[in-house]
Chain A
Amino acid sequence: MDTKGQVKDVIVNLLKVKPEEVKDDQSLEQCLGVDSTEMVEVCIALQKSFGVQIQEKEVAKYHSVTEIAKVIEGKKG
């Protein structure tokens, strides 16, 4: 699975939302109504899933799945 698909998977499993609700190019706030507290959970789940360290500022609720996947790919080198 590509990084984008894996990011989506993490979000779907964590937030118990339907896969089709997660839009690649909309911010998580826009498509899912994610708030800053939920974003802390998303951040931790992504760190666990990808085995990378992510700062809260790097992945925020106003980022889209595509943007988040890019941040993670950059870290994986």
Chain B
Amino acid sequence: MKNGKIAIVGIGVVAPSGIDKRVFWANIKAGRCAIKKIERYDSSLYPSHIAGQVHELDAFSHVSSRLLQKIDPFAHMALVATELAFKDAGVDLAQENLNRVGIFMGNALGGWLYGETELRDLYIEGREGVSPYMASAWFPAAPQGQVSIYYGIKGYSKTVVSDRASSLMAIGQARKILLRGKADCVVAGGMEAPLSPYGLLCCNTNGDLSVNNAHPEEAYRPFDKKRDGFVVGEGAGLMILESDSRAREKGRKILAYLTGYGTTCDGVDRIKPSRDGRQLARAIRMALDEAGYKPGDVDYICLDGSATPEGDESEVRAIKEVFGAAAKDVPVSAPKTIFGNLLGASGALDVIVTVLAMEHSMVPPMLNLKDVAPECAGLDFVKDKAREKEIRRALVISRGRGGINAVLAVERP
């Protein structure tokens, strides 16, 4: 039922592993780690002060310095990724009915560099020291607004704030809106800029970050015996979605289809997911059912890989519950170990990696898995370098703090 499928027709990526999608994929394929010590300010007293950092954003930016004063870096990254995605898709917005173009974005933290700088000025200089743009620059939906203004997009739009699951949920919702015929074309994905002094402090407070500062490239090691949490990253991943029939009519290059989506909540704790993974398993089944797949149809699973004891164990348990004896035969990996966990943007980056993996018939690798923890054993982890394999159907798993589960089914055209 191809006409019920939603097509990805363009992708734009701003990531620690590269801004251009070709450079990005080359770094993923080779397993070149982009996680380094944070040196843009003295972060040495933070328990975790390593991250995946975006370089050369200005070299790729089309945003005027006048606008840059009014927005936070997370909106800047979203604007650049959106421009790259529209260009990749070959969409000419002058030819589109802008009332029928939508924006669905995910973000977890908001724009704290702008926020904290202006709050500092409030306390030092008083009311007049605060930029009037403060009110519209820091909050999680600001990038959606900026993209809307920049292109004059006026259709069905929404920003999802659901911790690290935000952007996968945004893409899932965008798919539903397109299936219901509420929009013709949607830009979907997410952005996150968690490396400001206050943003990084917030990330450090939940105790889920790796403190292996001495060895940044080895720090993010989900499913490994020596794992001690994830490593944050900054960036944005946006994609252009259209119905299959419209994409064909417009002569777009179809990169992949979004065929199913499932989401559930654990409902047990403020921070930790439920160790049994039952609700994640239910979300996986929902995505499989919607896509019309049997577990045996899946060629690759892009893992959440939180590198926390409960997160990793419950993820492996959920996969085993759904896939049964076949769980050991499905290649799995957490490519975010290469560039960091982009929090609210992580799901979008994982979808982009999966789409590029399909295009190149290579399973993207994960880093630092030397000694699989006994409770995580039994899956076919793809380590260190990409593995040649045709990927027709894949699942992407994204999970937020407190047990938010989102799963997307992706198919090669």
Taking Cβ atoms with an 8 Å cutoff, the residues of A that contact B are: 15-17, 37-38, 40-41, 44, 47
Chain A: which residue is nearest B127 at the CB level?
Answer: A44
Q: A16 contacts B66, CB within 8 Å?
A: yes
**How many Å lie between the Cα of A47 and that of B136 in the bound state?**
23
Known contacts A16-B69, A44-B128; A37/B64 CB under 8 A: no
* Contact indicator B65/A37 (Cβ below 8 Å): no
**Contact of A16 (CB < 8 Å), options: B64, B132, B136:** B64
Distance between Cα atoms of A44 and B65 in the complex (Å): 19
Q: How far is the CA of A77 from the CA of B69 in the complex (A)?
A: 34
* Known contacts A16-B66, A37-B132, A41-B132, then 6 further A-B pairs from the complex at CB < 8 Å, ordered by chain A residue: A16-B65, A37-B133, A37-B136, A41-B131, A44-B128, A47-B128
A15 to B132 alpha-carbon distance, docked (Å): 13
Which B residues form the contact surface with A (CB < 8 A)?
64-66, 69, 128, 131-133, 136
Interchain CB contact under 8 A, B128 and A17: no
Residues of the B chain whose Cβ atoms lie less than 8 Å from the Cβ of A47: 128
In the bound assembly, the distance between CA atoms of A37 and B69 in angstroms comes to 12
Asked if B132 and A40 sit within 8 Å, CB to CB, the answer is: yes
In the complex the two chains form, what is the Cα distance from A41 to B133 in whole Å? Answer: 9
- Contact between B66 and A15, CB atoms less than 8 A apart: yes
Residues of A within 8 A of B136 (CB): 37
With a cutoff of 8 Å between Cβ atoms, the chain B residues found around residue A38 in the complex are 132
Best-surrounded residue of B128, B131, B132, B136 (most CB of chain A within 10 A) = B132
| Interchain CA distance A68-B132 in the complex, whole Å | 20
Q: How far is the CB of B402 from chain A (nearest CB, A)?
A: 36
For the residues of A in contact with B, the DSSP-based class is: helix
Compute how far the CA of A63 lies from the CA of B133 in the bound complex, rounded to whole angstroms.
21
Kindly list chain B residues whose C-beta atoms are within 8 Å of the C-beta of A40.
132
Bound CA span A47–B69, Å: 20
- Complex: chain A residue closest to B130, CB-CB: A44
CB nearest to A14 among chain B residues: B69
Instruction: Kindly identify which residue among A17, A37, A44 contacts B66, using a CB–CB cutoff of 8 Å.
Output: A17
Chain A, Cβ-Cβ closest to B65: A16
Residues in A neighbouring B65, C-beta threshold 8 A: 16
Contact residues in B for A15 (Cβ distance below 8 Å): 66
CB contacts (< 8 Å) of B64 on chain A: these are 16
Report chain B residues within 8 Å CB of A44: 128
CA distance A35 to B132 in the complex (A): 11
Which residues of chain B have C-beta atoms less than 8 A from A37's C-beta? 132-133, 136
Q: Using Cβ atoms and an 8 Å threshold, which residues of chain A touch B132?
A: 37-38, 40-41
Report how far A49 CA is from B132 CA in the complex, Å.
Answer: 18
- Shortest Cβ gap from A39 to chain B (Å): 9
Q: Which residue of B lies closest to A47 (CB)?
A: B128
Chain B min CB distance to A41 (Å): 6
Nearest Cβ on chain B to A37's Cβ, whole angstroms: 5
Taken together as a complex, chains A and B put the C-alpha atoms of A40 and B132 apart, in Å, by: 7
The closest CB in chain B to the CB of A32 belongs to B66
Closest to A39 in B: B132
Residues of B near A41 (CB, < 8 A) are: 131-133
How far, in angstroms, from A38 to B69 measured CA to CA in the complex?
A: 11
Chain B, Cβ-Cβ closest to A37: B132
Q: B28 CB to closest chain A CB, in angstroms?
A: 36
- Whole-angstrom distance between the alpha carbons of A17 and B66 in the complex? 7
A to B CB contacts below 8 Å, 7 in the list? A15-B66, A16-B65, A37-B133, A41-B131, A41-B132, A41-B133, A47-B128
Which residues of the other chain, A, contact B131 by a CB distance below 8 angstroms? 41
User: In the complex, A17→B133 CA distance in Å?
Assistant: 18
Minimum C-beta distance from B70 to chain A (A): 8
Which 4 pairs across A and B sit closest by C-beta, in order of nearness?
Answer: A40-B132, A16-B65, A16-B66, A37-B132
CA distance A3 to B308 in the complex (A): 62
Give the shortest distance, in Å, between A44 (CB) and chain B (any CB). 5
* A32–B60 alpha-carbon span in the complex (Å): 25
A15 CA to B64 CA, complexed, in Å: 10
CB nearest to B132 among chain A residues: A40
Which chain A residue has the least Cβ–Cβ distance from B133? A37
Measured CB to CB, the nearest residue on chain B to A17 is B66
Which residue from chain B places its CB closest to the CB of A48 in the assembled complex? B128
- B138 → chain A closest CB, angstroms: 14
